[in-house]
């Protein structure tokens, strides 16, 4: 266990912080160029992706071209005319500007058709959407009209290099327009075009168009953490407010993300809670928090005395989220609703104490018995009876430290999975051992239910226990434990090589897979766990193990990064939910529609949720 730096240590200077931040900002800049400039995330949805790509690059090229035109007027380089572009480069410049304007118009038409004809249910239309679309359409229309007047007035030899402007110029000529009339109208069109551009710029802060600035800034400044990791509360014993109860309690980067959200609805489209009919939407949550922030900023001191929960957001709202991360991988603006959910939960659990009874019961179980099930702490090793599992004593060493986690220690179905895994390790001659009674809950459930203090206590206990023994790697069967040990314990000073058991099994030569002593027959569907797949990108190893066992494996419609949550994450497994909106029922329905006879999963929570759904539906 590492100790925290003494407060007497000299604080780093501004420039040390600046250069350290610059050194560590590589991934953000990669995201900026890939997703803000390259539009990669946006293009993952074909129609809106192409639409936005045309608008973004159309306006980008037009802005660059307009800047070059302005510099021909000696505005930015006094008394010197910019010597670019000339000759063939000017012809290419004219063509690029013309095609960019055309791309904008096509993009506007696609946007209008999608918003006012197709009307996706997750796409919200407000006054500023129409205002911006009309303004964005008028700018290139007036621009092309202005260009056509110039071509009619001067009839340059290169007019064909401005195909859209030239076509419009020929149209005016067919109506009898003279060069003199075109020259007179050109001045009006020029100033109208400039005025429209200035109106758009001036109205940007008050409309959705502000996203052209907010999204790139948010992509660059969003917190850089391991995927699946939650922000640590530093010096938790000294903090006056834990979590976020008022807008000013959110970090500045979170407030920025509220402004970056454009309500595109991509998060809502993949949210398992929303899809299952729960009254929850990550998009609505972010917009409600933005409204609360705007109201706070409009107050005399720029702060709000009114709490968010109970006024702007219902007290139950944050608890519908399963923290599955589906919204995170879809958001083109890199907004993270889970951060806000956790902060709202932290405030309820640690500051106000106003939470559902079932939540309080689970957290008391973790605090008193060291596990969410509330089973006696002394029964943690009961699963291993008769297996001859070695328990490490202080100072002893092993190659593999097996970290069981609470689900495999206390849940009857998962105990059998743990026993089978141990037998595989023994049969393969693996040097492994467990901590025994020195193993504590990893704290994942407590942290995602908002009890950060309890998480830190358990993390410190485990790190101290790890420090008393020697091992080369930690192997765990639970993706939630795996994610916590690998991505969150480093926040507490515990840095280890951590593997999920499917990763480790992929390295071993295994006997033929069997179920209750019989080979698995029929169609077997593998379900991707959110914390194993989406957060830690482990997709191939479980599939390879199944394929090597020669099972008839099939894929579910939603798989890999797009897998559908089982409904058990984020503490949901211990909460009561309406039978009509249970996420695990939705996922089981998908498996049944795929005509799967067996469902395989590498997560104990998923196993429990599938079991529950099967029993509830009575499908056997």
Statement: residue 582 has pLDDT above 50: yes
Statement: residue 140 has pLDDT above 60: yes
Statement: residue 9 has pLDDT above 50: no
| Tokens found for residue 105 | 């118009």
The 3-class secondary structure across 527-579, one letter per residue, is: ECCHHHHHCCCCCHHHHHHHHHCCCEEECCCCCHHHCCCCCCCCCHHHCCCCH
| Spatial contact of 105 and 99, defined as CB atoms under 8 Å apart | no
Mean pLDDT of 225-237: 92
Q: Is 172 helix (H, G, I), strand (E, B) or coil?
A: helix
Lowest mean per-residue pLDDT among 15-29, 44-58, 569-583 = 15-29
Please report which confidence band the pLDDT of residue 84 belongs to, taking 50, 70 and 90 as the band edges.
confident
| Angle at which helices 252-260 and 211-221 cross, to 10° | 140
Question: Torsion over CA of 8, 9, 15 and 18, rounded to 10 degrees?
Answer: -100
What is the number of alpha carbons within 13 Å of residue 32 lying toward its C-beta?
A: 16
Number of H helices, E strands in the chain: 24, 7
The confidence score (pLDDT) of residue 516 equals 52
Mean pLDDT of 12-34: 68
Mean pLDDT of 85-104: 94
The confidence score (pLDDT) of residue 111 equals 96
Statement: residue 512 has pLDDT above 70: no
Mean pLDDT of the chain: 90
The confidence score (pLDDT) of residue 344 equals 96
| Spatial contact of 308 and 244, defined as CB atoms under 8 Å apart | yes
The confidence score (pLDDT) of residue 29 equals 85
**DSSP-derived secondary structure for 360-386:** HHHHHHHHHHSSTT---GGGTTGGGTT
The confidence score (pLDDT) of residue 571 equals 92
Statement: residue 318 has pLDDT above 70: yes
Mean pLDDT of 303-318: 89
Rounded Cα distance between 380 and 377, Å, is 6
Strand 397-403: give its sheet, edge to edge. 432-433, 397-403, 470-476, 498-500
Lowest mean per-residue pLDDT among 26-30, 232-236, 357-361 = 26-30
Rounded Cα distance between 196 and 138, Å, is 8
Lowest mean per-residue pLDDT among 8-17, 148-157, 314-323 = 8-17
Question: Torsion over CA of 256, 257, 263 and 269, rounded to 10 degrees?
Answer: 180
Q: Which residues contact 384 (CB under 8 A, 6 or more apart)?
A: 418, 419, 422, 434
**φ, ψ (nearest 5 deg) of residue 527:** -100, 125
Buried b (16+ CB within 10 A) or exposed e, 501-528: bbbbbbeeeeeebeeeeeebeeebbbbb
Q: Report the predicted TM-score, pTM, of the whole model to 2 decimal places.
A: 0.89
Mean pLDDT of 307-314: 90
Residue with tokens 């209750």: 516
Statement: residue 515 has pLDDT above 90: no
Rounded Cα distance between 463 and 442, Å, is 10
| Spatial contact of 211 and 260, defined as CB atoms under 8 Å apart | yes
Statement: residue 216 has pLDDT above 50: yes
The confidence score (pLDDT) of residue 561 equals 95
Nearest to 603 by CA among 582, 579, 584, 577: 584
Statement: residue 368 has pLDDT above 90: yes
Please report which confidence band the pLDDT of residue 304 belongs to, taking 50, 70 and 90 as the band edges.
confident
| Spatial contact of 242 and 353, defined as CB atoms under 8 Å apart | no
ω into residue 24 within 30 of 0, thus cis? no
Please report which confidence band the pLDDT of residue 184 belongs to, taking 50, 70 and 90 as the band edges.
very high
Q: Which residues contact 393 (CB under 8 A, 6 or more apart)?
A: 469
Please report which confidence band the pLDDT of residue 82 belongs to, taking 50, 70 and 90 as the band edges.
confident
| Choice between 291 and 18, residue whose per-residue pLDDT is larger | 291
Mean pLDDT of 350-363: 91
Nearest to 292 by CA among 359, 258, 247, 244: 247
Pairing label, strands 523-527, 498-500: unpaired
């Amino acid at each position: 266990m590492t100790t925290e730096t003494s407060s007497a240590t000299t604080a780093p200077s501004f420039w040390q912080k600046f250069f350290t931040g610059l050194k560590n900002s590589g991934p953000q800049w990669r995201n900026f160029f890939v997703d803000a400039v390259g539009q990669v995330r946006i293009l993952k949805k074909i129609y809106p992706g192409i639409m936005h790509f045309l608008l973004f690059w159309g306006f980008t090229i037009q802005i660059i071209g307009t800047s070059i035109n302005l510099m021909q007027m000696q505005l930015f380089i006094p008394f010197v005319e910019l010597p670019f572009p000339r000759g063939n480069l000017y012809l290419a410049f004219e063509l690029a500007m013309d095609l960019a304007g055309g791309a904008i118009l096509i993009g506007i038409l696609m946007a209008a058709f999608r918003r006012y004809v197709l009307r996706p249910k997750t796409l919200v239309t407000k006054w500023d959407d129409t205002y911006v679309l009309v303004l964005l359409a008028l700018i290139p229309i007036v621009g092309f009209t202005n260009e056509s007047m110039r071509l009619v007035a001067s009839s340059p030899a290169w007019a064909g290099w401005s195909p859209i402007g030239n076509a419009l110029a020929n149209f005016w000529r067919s109506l009898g327009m003279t060069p003199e009339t075109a020259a007179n109208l050109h001045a009006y069109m020029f100033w109208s075009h400039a005025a429209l551009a200035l109106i758009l710029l001036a109205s940007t802060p008050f409309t959705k168009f502000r996203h052209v600035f907010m999204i790139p800034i948010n992509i660059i400044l969003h917190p850089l953490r391991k995927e699946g990791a939650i922000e640590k509360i530093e010096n938790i014993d000294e903090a006056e407010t834990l979590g976020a109860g008022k807008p000013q309690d959110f970090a500045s980067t979170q407030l920025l993300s509220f402004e970056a959200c454009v309500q595109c609805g991509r998060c809502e489209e993949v949210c398992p809670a929303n899809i299952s009919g729960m009254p929850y939407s990550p998009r609505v949550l972010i917009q409600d928090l933005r409204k609360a922030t705007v109201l706070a900023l409009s107050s005399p001191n720029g702060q709000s005395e009114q709490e968010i929960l109970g006024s702007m957001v219902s007290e139950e709202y944050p608890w519908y989220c399963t923290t599955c991360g589906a919204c995170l991988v879809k958001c083109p603006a890199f907004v993270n609703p889970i951060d806000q959910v956790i902060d709202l939960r932290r405030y309820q659990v640690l500051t106000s104490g106003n939470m559902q009874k079932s939540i309080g019961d689970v957290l008391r179980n973790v605090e008193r018995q060291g596990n969410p099930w509330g089973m006696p702490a002394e029964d943690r090793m009961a699963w291993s009876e008769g297996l001859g599992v070695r328990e490490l004593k202080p100072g002893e060493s092993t190659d593999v430290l097996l970290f069981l986690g609470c689900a495999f220690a206390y849940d009857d179905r998962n105990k059998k999975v743990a026993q089978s895994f141990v037998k595989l390790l023994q049969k393969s001659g693996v040097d492994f051992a467990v901590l025994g009674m020195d193993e504590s809950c990893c704290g994942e459930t407590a942290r995602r239910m908002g009890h950060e203090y309890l998480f830190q206590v358990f993390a410190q206990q485990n790190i101290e226990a790890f420090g008393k023994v020697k091992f080369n790697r930690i192997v765990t069967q639970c993706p939630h434990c795996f994610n916590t040990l690998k991505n969150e314990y480093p926040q507490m000073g515990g840095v280890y090589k951590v593997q999920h058991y499917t990763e480790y099994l992929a390295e071993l030569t295994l006997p033929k897979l069997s179920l209750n002593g019989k080979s698995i027959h029929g169609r077997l569907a593998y379900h991707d766990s959110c914390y194993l797949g989406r957060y830690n990108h482990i997709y191939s190893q479980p599939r390879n193990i199944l394929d090597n066992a020669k099972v008839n494996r099939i894929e579910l419609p939603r798989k890999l990064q797009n897998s559908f949550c089982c409904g058990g994450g984020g503490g949901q497994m211990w909460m009561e939910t309406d039978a009509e909106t249970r996420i695990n029922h939705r996922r089981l329905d998908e498996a049944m529609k795929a005509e799967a006879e067996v469902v395989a999963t590498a997560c104990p929570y998923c196993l429990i949720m599938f079991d529950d759904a099967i029993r509830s539906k009575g499908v056997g």
